[in-house]
A and B are shown apart, each in its own frame.
Chain A
Amino acid sequence: GQQLNQSPQSMFIQEGEDVSMNCTSSSIFNTWLWYKQDPGEGPVLLIALYKAGELTSNGRLTAQFGITRKDSFLNISASIPSDVGIYFCASNSGGSNYKLTFGKGTLLTVNP
C-alpha cells in the first residue's frame, strides 16, 4: 500500500528556532496536507497543497509540494511554545479516492 515516510519522529527545540520536517513517498500524490494535533484534540488543517512545486505560507508556516509529487516539507519559523504538538502530513492520490494516507507524525517540543 501507499506509505508516507515522515521525519523526524520528534524534535526538541528552543523557542525562537526554526523547524523543518518532511514527508516522502515512493508513490505519486495529487494533494499534500499538513495537520497539527494538540493532546486530546482533533487534527487541525494547517496548509493544503495541490500543485507540484507549489509553495504556500500560513503565518509562520511554509509548506511546499515537491516537484516530483512524491514529497513535501513544512517549515515553522521563529517557534513559540504553542507550536508544541504532533504534526502529520497526509496525502491523497486523487480521483474518487476518499482515503487519506497519513505519515506517522512529528512530535515537536518547544522549550521556552
Chain B
Amino acid sequence: EAAVTQSPRSKVAVTGGKVTLSCHQTNNHDYMYWYRQDTGHGLRLIHYSYVADSTEKGDIPDGYKASRPSQENFSLILELASLSQTAVYFCASSGTGGEAEQFFGPGTRLTVL
C-alpha cells in the first residue's frame, strides 16, 4: 500500500494560471519535501516542512509556495505558472531531516503551455 501519494499524476496548465499539486503520506513522518526533476539536473529541493503549519524554502523556491495544513498533507502551489516550470514534481517524506531515508511519491508530470 503506497505510503506517499500525489495528485494529480499529470496536469497540463496554461501560462499564468494557478496550479496546486497535492501530496499525502501515511508514514506518520514529520518531514515532507517537494522536488522538481529536470533532465540533467537530478532532483532539486523546492520547499520542505518539518511540522504542520510551517514551511521552509529549499534551493529553488522562486515561483513556488508550499502549504502544510496537517502532518499528512503537503501542497505545492504555482500562483502564476510559467513555461520554465514544466517538469516532474516529486513529494517525499522522512521521519527526521538530514540523514534520514526519504520515501518518494510517484511524481506529477506538469506541462505548462
A and B assemble together: no
Q: Which residues of A contact B (CB under 8 A)?
A: none
